[in-house]
Structure 1
Amino acid sequence: MVQAIGVRRPGGPDALEELDLAPEPLGPGQVRIRVAAAAVNPIDAMIRSRPRQDAADAVRVPGMEVAGAITEIGPEVDRALAVGDAVMAVVVPSGEHGGYRADLVVPARSVARIPAGLSPAEAATVPMNGLTARLALDTLALPPGATVAVTGAAGAVGGYFVQLAEQDGLVVVADAAPKDEDFVRACGADQVLPRGDDFAAQVRRHHPGGVDGLLDAAVLEAAALPAVKDGGTVVTVSGYTGDGAGRVRVVPVFVRDHATAAAALDRLAELAGDGRLTPRVADRLPASRAADAHRRLERPGVRGRVVLQFD
């Protein structure tokens, strides 16, 4: 049996419990990972608390990004991976399949080798959050020199976005609380404005015509749209599709649809390894304290990700 953390009944953090689950079968194009660390993300709380849909949803294991070591490789794997490789991986949770389990099977194209010098806890914060930031930039498709804004710049997705946008040659306008301003500037933001629901108005004061594009990582939704010029693009991470006015293009990104983007994951690992992407671990807790980690999610001001560690 496999150690896992999940829910049998949806609810608050205390609904999480330790579970013994059967090992997942290994199929073509897949690898088995002994999980050392699993990052805790806001989507995990949604998975934990949503109502049951059907019998297949009776046990639900959260977790969308992990780090560990490959213990088995299935047939038809087309990547240069070996048993024993330290890897990070994106996970698409479904039922008993999720990142909060000590033994996990994922597509080989959902993993990337962990570069030397990066701990499993650090690596576990990169694949899903980093890939979300990369997808946002690819969706915006702005040329070097264009101006891009980001809400939630001090968060995991937002911080990675600022760093990647700066490397893409974009002019970055970011939000931040006073305590986070130095960090956001260090990530590469050209201009830092106070965070809040009036961020769009502040952007317009400094950029009267509006910015070329925006990532709404803070989920301001409609309140963020006025920051962008007519015909510009807003990328959202909450599924929000806009107010229907059509003045700007609003595009949700869903990392689950790109979980096998092997080349992008390899690149993120490379950037994290050479210091151009900064993993941020807010805390490390044993997996048995997952409920405490989820309580931390509900508190404002947590920067980075709490990481669950498995024996």
Structure 2
Amino acid sequence: MRVIGVSDFGGPEALREFDVDERHAGPGEVRIRVRAAAVNPTDTVARTGVYASRRGDTGSPQVPGMDAAGDIDEIGPGGSTVGDFAVGDAVMASVVPTGAHGAYSEHLVVPAESVARIPAGAGYAAASTLPMNGLTARLALDRTALEPGAALAVTGAAGAFGGYVVELAKAEGLRVIADAAEKDEQLVRDLGADVVVRRGDDVAARILEAEPGGVDAVADGAVHDDLVSPAVRDGGRMATVRGFKGDEQALQRGVVFHPVLVVDYHREQAKLDGLRKQAEDGVLSLRVARTFPADQAAEAHRLLEAGGVRGRLVLEF
């Protein structure tokens, strides 16, 4: 079967097609005929070899991709169904890539707990943009555990993770202060932010102008880390997406840091299905920036790394 990956880590040009052995579903697993795979910043990091070196994974090819949508074409041994799923169901899946197992594949085997039906009315490309970023946003809000009426600041609000945080937070009755570049201000307002401040390294000061006592929590999609932690009130909370565990000054003020990694939720089927329902209800916006044939993955990576993409780039198989 065809996959898109790298044998030598490097820039976008390192991505190419490989033919690997066909996989089959084991007990409790489903195999998906992939129709669409979203391209995320984490994929570009994986392409450079950072994650493989941490795991000691030196196999070839290394296949990126944490989001997929397609049709179930095989159920693991023991029956024609697993859970509520049957062959032919259109589904989306959260993927934890390892070695040649990643979403940039014609076929993908995943635990049934990592799968949910695609939102009604959504195509494969749109559905593929939801699992990884949606689950990470859900995890950030679950970890910060704010009560309705609390103030949440969201950095990187125009991005996929940040946008989902804004929409989910508003659905839960939070007051949302979000950052944006000038060209993205209307987009972020449309997502539901109560206050939009200009993004940048001084974003903490801008947030404090809007919430002088400090916000109850920050969801830091822009990876500002210690640049934005001063915006959190004493004893508040901060969700970080690249493992940041806090700076000394914030920790001394009692700020609690929550590094959020989607692997903690990749088998939380009820959470993923809840996101599906919210997409159907219009709470969540599925944003596709552009689609590419799978063999143009290198061009999709170049465009993403150039910056300014709003919504998700999607590879189609």
User: Is structure 2 residue 152 aligned with structure 1 residue 148?
Assistant: yes
Q: How many Å separate the matches in 2 of 1:20 and 1:284?
A: 23
The equivalent residue for 1:13 is 12
User: Is structure 2 residue 198 aligned with structure 1 residue 221?
Assistant: no
TM-score normalised to structure 1 length? 0.97
Q: How many Å separate the matches in 2 of 1:145 and 1:257?
A: 27
Secondary structure, aligned partner of 1:160: helix
- 2:307 alignment partner, one of 277, 300, 306: 300
User: How many pairs were matched up?
Assistant: 309
Distance apart, 1:276 and its partner CA? 1.4
Cα deviation digits, residues 71-117 of structure 1 (max 9, x gap): 01114675210110000000000000000001000000101001221
The equivalent residue for 1:260 is 267
Secondary structure, aligned partner of 2:86: coil
Structure 2 vs 1, CA of residues 299 and 135 (structure 1 numbering), >3 Å: closer, same or farther?
same
TM-score normalised to structure 2 length? 0.95
The equivalent residue for 1:309 is 316
Decide which moves more: 11-20 or 73-82.
73-82
The equivalent residue for 1:240 is 244
What is the aligned-residue RMSD (CA, Å)? 1.3
Secondary structure, aligned partner of 1:27: coil
Cα deviation digits, residues 16-54 of structure 1 (max 9, x gap): 010101122321110000000000000001111025545
The equivalent residue for 1:163 is 167
Q: How many Å separate the matches in 1 of 2:307 and 2:12?
A: 16
Name the aligned partner's letter for residue 187 of structure 1.
Answer: L
Q: How many Å separate the matches in 1 of 2:84 and 2:170?
A: 31
The equivalent residue for 1:28 is 27
The equivalent residue for 2:132 is 128
Name the aligned partner's letter for residue 296 of structure 1.
Answer: L
Name the aligned partner's letter for residue 70 of structure 2.
Answer: G
Cα deviation digits, residues 207-240 of structure 1 (max 9, x gap): 1210000100001111010010011011000111
Decide which moves more: 70-79 or 9-18.
70-79
Q: How many Å separate the matches in 2 of 1:172 and 1:145?
A: 9
- 2:194 alignment partner, one of 173, 183, 190: 190
Cα deviation digits, residues 144-168 of structure 1 (max 9, x gap): 0000000000000101110000000
Structural mapping, 1:16-165, within 5 Å: 16-50=15-49, 53=53, 54=56, 56-75=58-77, 79-165=83-169
**Contact 2:24/2:74 (<8 A) preserved:** no
Secondary structure, aligned partner of 1:57: coil
Secondary structure, aligned partner of 1:28: coil
Secondary structure, aligned partner of 1:22: coil
Runs ≥4 residues deviating over 4 A: none
Q: How many Å separate the matches in 1 of 2:60 and 2:261?
A: 24
**Contact 2:75/2:82 (<8 A) preserved:** no
Q: Which runs of 5+ in 1 are unaligned?
A: none
Name the aligned partner's letter for residue 66 of structure 1.
Answer: A
Name the aligned partner's letter for residue 268 of structure 1.
Answer: L
Q: Which runs of 5+ in 2 are unaligned?
A: none
**Contact 2:195/2:210 (<8 A) preserved:** no
